[in-house]
Amino acid sequence: MKWKDVCQAFPEQWVLIEAVQAYTNEENERILEEVTPLKKFHNSPEAMRVYQELHRENPTRELYVLHTGRRNPNIIERKWVGVRR
């Protein structure tokens, strides 16, 4: 699905999506060409809890929690320097 299709299917809701096809442009913005909605939520804390569980199980999946009130996802990729524990 395209992001606009997700917004139409789940108006004014928090959604957990997985990027199926995506790339990063020159401005370090992640462009989501195709996404799969995994679950909808009424609040962000619940959505983030489920996101964390799925991310812990499989950290290589590209998952996002977004509100469908956004016209565009506007995801900025940041480079991390240092060690994570």
How far apart are the C-alpha atoms of 60 and 10, rounded to whole Å? 26
Which pLDDT score, from 0 to 100, does residue 80 have?
75
**Residue 11 domain-assigned (yes or no):** yes
What's the residue count for the chain? Answer: 85
Instruction: For 25-51, write each residue's pLDDT tens digit.
Output: 999 999 999 999 999 999 999 999 999
**Residue 82 domain-assigned (yes or no):** no
**Residue 8 domain-assigned (yes or no):** yes
- Domain span at residue 65 reads 3-76
How far apart are the C-alpha atoms of 63 and 14, rounded to whole Å? 13
For the whole model, what pTM was predicted?
A: 0.89
Amino acid at 39: K
Tokens, residue 11: 């108006």
Q: Is the pLDDT confidence value at 67 over 90?
A: yes
Number of domains in the chain: 1
